[in-house]
Structure 1
């Protein structure tokens, strides 16, 4: 192995540029007789370990590892690397999202998708999520990727905004000759999650060698997995019941209740006076309503029978790149990518109730017209006779709640198109100076059609039906049911019957249905140039520099139809969001050889945003070869992230948060303490206590909390300070083939852009000492239907530079390869120990520690073993996710006042998981390779994190972004190369 200090001038310069992340496909030699620069890269083509050649921690996933994984989506493979946290959006945790379902994002260091910068060939890539910088990995073809470089720690000085946690750089193949076909099929042990993919890659070079071009066409189809097809999620259940003193029952806070069906049933439930009614399975009216089946068959609805664990996703991919040498020193290049993706979400029919239509939650069932009392003809006599006047207008009214199964399941089909084109020139200016200049245009557009929603205004008109004894519509018929409102009749109003199973006619369905439309557009334009070269020579070598400039424009628009924007289709009220910004940036980097064995690296970037003004990022690093085989590296960096379009410009958009604990729950008239006093001060809460003896919430109260998120045009950039220090061991003379890196990292972000957590708002309002937070909370009034007085209706939140977040830990990577018997043995270990991680919601607030909680395990690792002999290859991968605790903030809300404050770390949680994946491949001939594998070999069932517990992904009964909710999966495939 060559010693870094003895490499030629040209190679030193190449290493400098590579370690600073400026990927280039240059293949010019710095001086005659020196190996081409392209052969010495940060990822290491001539050096066994990429980690051993950078002052910043970098891990590399090569093309062979991608092939051996059998993955159709690069997100699935990256999630095995312990430096990544749970993705914000994946195929298994986005079924309930109002948009972007099935998108695949990545999150380095658990610091959020917005703080992870995704690049392709070292340059920015257009976002796949409107209003953000999040790249959809569905649009990057795995079979066209040469390697993936994962650079952790602040990198804004090199790449610009968003690289606070680090960079994920996908380097595409560019020197392929011939043609390669690949086909693969797979499915789970349960017969679902079918996966099909076909691709062809071809490349050629002109006869004079000056031109080169490659093309890739790919198709993949990942099938659905439904909640009903996994035992853990097949039946609605809940785990929010707890013991008053958990310290007397270690590990037994939660009591699982199964079944625990929804009180919104397809046959409906109806409150008339003091009596509740529903219908049995034979559509006979009966009194009472039972969600658990304690007194016979349950009347509730099993939502899990209609939910989806894994969203079906279909993709068509095209990618191409090429170059042409204009002369010996300059060449033209281009890159092109197009992806068409379709994903389909499906969930249970909409739970609809009176309070979705009427502010007081009461449906009138009789009306006075022309001195005659008219009655809704669909109301059964028993319900009509029990009904009373609850709102003081002299007319009887009722409350109803009904699962709109007659309307159909909710869900949407999203069709996304992503196009990106890059073109430019690169070359050699002189013996020691190189350049590249480029232009990038990227665009993502999405069209989404949602079903299962209703027009609330039309539903109200259709509900207010009467028997037309007065011939109000003038058709001569006096025994028919008509809509009472004359204007609504003119627009085709059809009366609707909500009483019982399958009661809504097709005509009424057509009148009230309201498919929702979403149209989005994201555009990105970039122009930039980079220059690298040598300034002058010091005793230890030449001072290398890189400098350049870049101009970037970003635009995003997301617009639902008018009904959705106004919240009049029974769904979230989501107004249109539109915004844009531009930024001009300049940077300079330097590599100063202080000694033969010690170099100093530094970079600074100045940016001018149209939104936040001027920002500054920098880093300083040391790379010291202590002795042969032992290197020490350290980097100190300051990174910035400017707010994205959603954070700046999003208008109040409705959401339905989950896993919230109401501090008033269980409060009585005699409960003591500041929280109890604050709760009783609300009239609705006081009325609820008077009615029930203590403040009581029903299931629909718990699951019916809504609120609005808001952007903030006054946001400024957030600043992250990171420090990494590590040692690289390549003990060639002791153990040949072994490379080890150990890196400590510490990242702290000040003035973090956050949406104030809703649980924090609740805790501050009720007994936390800051009643100003109460302005964000709206509780239902004293006359709320369904005995819901005082329950939370809305909790709003907005973006601000008021938070802080930090993470600290240690990474260990080790690679080893050696001849073993007749073949070659290879192994790689990647391990991360998370020492600390926390968020600070607002200045002065206590830290919310998340290190060690679900999704943030302290210990994570991936260990792979491979053995190649002749035409056979075997690969075994183990992914370890350490034990984790439940969210301490969530648990604190369950602890009784008599228990000690808080819960000790490790008090209650879930155990560790180890997933095993194996693959075998065999070259039938030199051209044909047959392969197959098993993922989740031991068919591990995901840890039980049920509805009502923080960390649950609805419909999966686990944290589906962290753990595998699908189970054992098999695949086979074939590759043919010519």
Structure 2
């Protein structure tokens, strides 16, 4: 955009930083922002945006990922700031919100998948901790992460990178090219880039820790039960006349006769090595394309547009433990008249039965496509100090989950014809279970790939999210003059529409797919918001900033609205010291899945307080009530709730920035959250207790509370609880205090080169959680049953550069974490075998050398010392991964070689 010298100087002096809408000269403001540049990403050896964010010291919370077998979103990646839920982070690309991932984290929560952002096309990533809803609206409770893509280049850059793991698997290749062009008159500028990546999976059998069932646990290692017959009365029955000889070639020749003492005759056919037949890193193929352009219409108007397209396919396998068939799912039990017993068959499928490729043939494939398009105009109103920016953004995310499944009818018929034989009526004892006289020898035999294919196939679940937004902003950085400088004002208005649809394959819903279910859901809403920010330099050392926002979401006939505000100060007693603070409110609106998720079922147990009271055992003496009533099993139904209200938070921070010399800065910031009205599933225990109070007259049975409770608790003709409806409700509370500190220092040693140190440290001081109002608070820092997150985490890098050579050493460290025994005991660290592991660190190293102008070669080694997770001996012998996959991974040492060539201007 053409401009006079005065305007140009103003543009150069002022920048827009995440955390403020008003351009300003100071990079450090009232809100701390961590900036990770493209150079930092490369030097530290990070291969993806996910790795950049998960290694950051503020990411203290563990999250599900590729190592979490059979999770709801195994093909997606996310992050948890300060141990808060992943959905409490607001993700932006170039300052505008990302579209949500269509599938739900843990099957219930909306979140963002960050795996599809092209790391080679990133200019920088800015992490803004603390509540930021007064500027960015819903979800910005834990903080904001803004990914800023490249906007200008002096010439084309081509990058190619390849690598793998010293332990095997995970081989990868990535190539990217980006170029920029500016017209001769400078009015048109275009930048475009494309990145393509391919990565092999890592299988459990490729790592010593995950290739077999735990041989060093507190109990003996136990083989998988791949061919098992069991009875509810006499436990295991071994009925193979060939003693497993017919199946010894399965699972790589590891299948054989096994024994579990204490389970009847204890014999079955199994293997210690089936644990390794799952992926612990997804196979991945992805391509991203990006284009950005501007056109200066005149001195006061610039048109801009950009588009980002991402294609991502991941393949993964949950393991042999999730690929089996049994009679229990269909019949409960069957009756064998020859043995006069109720029995069940259980049978896993081996790779040799799947044809060439084995388990590779049965991997699930999640294919996603996302598109983000932005266009608009910005400039100035004539010769005034008022700037404007009017633009629209449309994002959509489509997900196809292609899952390998067993067809219920075909699988049952296959084994009826092969093993069970024709049904011969119902059992003589209960008149409920089918009667078969099986050919047990046929049960203990492999099947052919053709037979396996006859009852298996694929099911496709389609889902989609979209978010359209029109945004208008006016800004005046010189509104009026105060003793400390020019006051600034920004006002923003937004209108948008959000949609979510999740459509499972019909077979999951009608029972035609064996052993698996799903939940459908979908809805849309309109969104409105008005934001304002006022920056007031009261006098030269002190600046006060005020911001406020009003958000409204219209879903169906209901409007959910929420105002938020923040006030902050910056005090500079002298140039090298900044004292800052901020107080504000934040919120998270009920997500579309919170509102419109369909019904899903589960089984659990609850005290039947009413029936116990009838035989003399009140709520204060419920433990003495007979187990049949004090531990009553019921079928639960959960769902979304259209009456949910926003999650609310009060958040404040205070800190200092000290920079006594050039290239040195020390920052220390304290953060405090008080989060209320969090969404959780309604308490079945609380409903049973309230049902008792209503039925016994303690509370008025005709009151709205009692009428609602009685409609949610279902009893049979005998008066026993059989079902409870537990929708999502707003009741939980969370309180968190944390400190984040950073120290950066650089020094030029002249002929000896230049040294640059960057460090960051985070410590959680207090973290308490209350699930229901009647509950006492849980100390999440010291109660491992509730949280296994570390209290402290740090990372740092040291870079030395001399001439054409540079080298970086990076360290990622986190504090002690509990072992498995501590996480499963309600006694915490006082439980049997419970203890803490010591602190844990990993090191990355990289070296780069410029061969000639434009040509750089780099070698990166991640996890230099090939450090594996600490072996957790408190896991039982049935465990397939004796370590905490939320805190550790077993990938081992990785190495990458990268070549970068810049054409034209270097």
Instruction: With the length of structure 1 as denominator, give the TM-score of the two structures.
Output: 0.77
Q: Is the 8 A contact 2:768 2:780 kept in 1?
A: yes
Matches of residues 253-332 of structure 1 in structure 2 within 5 Å?
Answer: 256-263=218-225, 265=226, 267-271=227-231, 274=234, 276-279=237-240, 280-283=243-246, 290-291=259-260, 299-302=269-272, 303-332=274-303
Matches of residues 733-812 of structure 1 in structure 2 within 5 Å?
Answer: 736-755=662-681, 798-812=727-741
**Cα shift at 1:71:** 2.8
The answer to whether residue 890 in structure 2 is matched with residue 957 in structure 1 is no
Q: Is the 8 A contact 1:630 1:730 kept in 2?
A: yes
The answer to whether residue 381 in structure 2 is matched with residue 420 in structure 1 is no
**Cα shift at 1:523:** 1.2
Q: Is the 8 A contact 1:956 1:965 kept in 2?
A: no
Question: Pick from 863, 874, 890: which aligns with 2:807?
Answer: 874
Tell me how large the CA RMSD over aligned residues is.
4.3
Q: Is the 8 A contact 1:597 1:626 kept in 2?
A: yes
When structure 1 is superposed on structure 2, of 402-411 and 321-330 the one drifting more is: 402-411
**Cα shift at 1:744:** 0.5
- Measured at CA, do residues 297 and 80 of structure 1 come closer, stay the same or move farther in structure 2, by a change above 3 Å? same
Tell me the distance in 1 between the aligned counterparts of 2:826 and 2:723.
Answer: 19
**Alignment gaps of 5+ in structure 2:** 249-255, 426-437, 609-619, 697-705, 716-720
- Measured at CA, do residues 648 and 887 of structure 1 come closer, stay the same or move farther in structure 2, by a change above 3 Å? farther
Q: Is the 8 A contact 2:375 2:391 kept in 1?
A: yes
- Measured at CA, do residues 508 and 922 of structure 1 come closer, stay the same or move farther in structure 2, by a change above 3 Å? closer
- 1:116 aligned residue: 89
Tell me the distance in 2 between the aligned counterparts of 1:684 and 1:154.
Answer: 42
- Measured at CA, do residues 58 and 529 of structure 1 come closer, stay the same or move farther in structure 2, by a change above 3 Å? same
Matches of residues 23-422 of structure 1 in structure 2 within 5 Å?
Answer: 31-32=6-7, 34-37=9-12, 40-42=15-17, 53-86=28-61, 88-93=63-68, 95-98=69-72, 100-130=73-103, 134-237=111-214, 256-263=218-225, 265=226, 267-271=227-231, 274=234, 276-279=237-240, 280-283=243-246, 290-291=259-260, 299-302=269-272, 303-346=274-317, 347-348=319-320, 349-358=322-331, 361-364=332-335, 385-388=338-341, 397-405=342-350, 411-422=363-374
**Cα shift at 1:97:** 2.2
> CA offsets, 1:548-596, max 9 Å, x none?
1001211111111122123442333213211111210011110111111
Q: Is the 8 A contact 2:247 2:446 kept in 1?
A: no
Tell me the distance in 2 between the aligned counterparts of 1:708 and 1:509.
Answer: 34
- Measured at CA, do residues 173 and 76 of structure 1 come closer, stay the same or move farther in structure 2, by a change above 3 Å? same
- 2:856 aligned residue: 929
Q: Any idea what SS the aligned residue of 2:732 has?
A: strand
- Measured at CA, do residues 272 and 675 of structure 1 come closer, stay the same or move farther in structure 2, by a change above 3 Å? closer
Q: Is the 8 A contact 1:456 1:570 kept in 2?
A: yes
Q: Is the 8 A contact 2:126 2:146 kept in 1?
A: yes
> CA offsets, 1:388-424, max 9 Å, x none?
4xxxxxxxx5322222445775641111111111111
Q: Any idea what SS the aligned residue of 1:237 has?
A: coil
Question: Pick from 677, 680, 684: which aligns with 2:627?
Answer: 680
Tell me the distance in 1 between the aligned counterparts of 2:131 and 2:410.
Answer: 53
- 2:900 aligned residue: 975
> CA offsets, 1:290-314, max 9 Å, x none?
2489999974344412122111111
Q: Any idea what SS the aligned residue of 1:681 has?
A: helix
**Cα shift at 1:813:** 0.6
Question: Pick from 432, 439, 454: which aligns with 2:385?
Answer: 432
Tell me the distance in 2 between the aligned counterparts of 1:661 and 1:316.
Answer: 50
**Cα shift at 1:912:** 1.0
Q: Is the 8 A contact 1:291 1:299 kept in 2?
A: no
Q: Is the 8 A contact 1:43 1:149 kept in 2?
A: yes
Give 4+ residue runs of structure 1 displaced > 6 Å after superposition: 26-30, 292-298, 480-485, 495-498, 660-663, 683-686, 760-765, 770-779, 792-796, 904-907, 946-949
- Measured at CA, do residues 683 and 456 of structure 1 come closer, stay the same or move farther in structure 2, by a change above 3 Å? farther
Matches of residues 588-737 of structure 1 in structure 2 within 5 Å?
Answer: 588-611=532-555, 612-653=559-600, 676-678=623-625, 680-682=627-629, 709-732=638-661, 736-737=662-663
Tell me the distance in 2 between the aligned counterparts of 1:905 and 1:116.
Answer: 37
Q: Any idea what SS the aligned residue of 2:479 has?
A: strand
- Measured at CA, do residues 761 and 283 of structure 1 come closer, stay the same or move farther in structure 2, by a change above 3 Å? farther
Q: Is the 8 A contact 2:45 2:861 kept in 1?
A: no
**Cα shift at 1:336:** 0.6
**Cα shift at 1:324:** 0.8
- 1:500 aligned residue: 443
**Cα shift at 1:806:** 2.1
> CA offsets, 1:816-854, max 9 Å, x none?
001125211000110001111122111131122222556
Q: Is the 8 A contact 2:218 2:874 kept in 1?
A: no
Q: Is the 8 A contact 1:51 1:59 kept in 2?
A: no
> CA offsets, 1:636-677, max 9 Å, x none?
0101110111111111235799xx9999xxxxxxxxx95753
- 2:794 aligned residue: 861
Instruction: With the length of structure 2 as denominator, give the TM-score of the two structures.
Output: 0.83
**Cα shift at 1:805:** 1.4
The answer to whether residue 531 in structure 2 is matched with residue 587 in structure 1 is yes
Q: Is the 8 A contact 1:73 1:137 kept in 2?
A: no
Q: Any idea what SS the aligned residue of 1:565 has?
A: helix
Q: Any idea what SS the aligned residue of 1:386 has?
A: coil
Q: Is the 8 A contact 2:165 2:895 kept in 1?
A: yes
**Alignment gaps of 5+ in structure 1:** 1-25, 240-254, 366-383, 389-396, 468-479, 486-494, 664-672, 687-704, 780-791, 896-901
Q: Is the 8 A contact 1:498 1:504 kept in 2?
A: no
- Measured at CA, do residues 177 and 678 of structure 1 come closer, stay the same or move farther in structure 2, by a change above 3 Å? farther
Q: Is the 8 A contact 2:645 2:730 kept in 1?
A: yes
**Cα shift at 1:282:** 0.6
- Measured at CA, do residues 504 and 776 of structure 1 come closer, stay the same or move farther in structure 2, by a change above 3 Å? farther
Tell me the distance in 2 between the aligned counterparts of 1:523 and 1:205.
Answer: 33
**Cα shift at 1:350:** 2.4
Q: Is the 8 A contact 2:201 2:282 kept in 1?
A: yes
The answer to whether residue 866 in structure 2 is matched with residue 913 in structure 1 is no
Tell me the distance in 1 between the aligned counterparts of 2:85 and 2:552.
Answer: 24
Q: Is the 8 A contact 1:304 1:955 kept in 2?
A: yes
Alignment length (residue pairs)? 830
Q: Is the 8 A contact 1:737 1:818 kept in 2?
A: yes
- Measured at CA, do residues 921 and 260 of structure 1 come closer, stay the same or move farther in structure 2, by a change above 3 Å? same
**Cα shift at 1:615:** 0.7
When structure 1 is superposed on structure 2, of 108-117 and 124-133 the one drifting more is: 124-133
When structure 1 is superposed on structure 2, of 813-822 and 503-512 the one drifting more is: 503-512
Tell me the distance in 2 between the aligned counterparts of 1:530 and 1:130.
Answer: 33
Q: Any idea what SS the aligned residue of 2:238 has?
A: strand
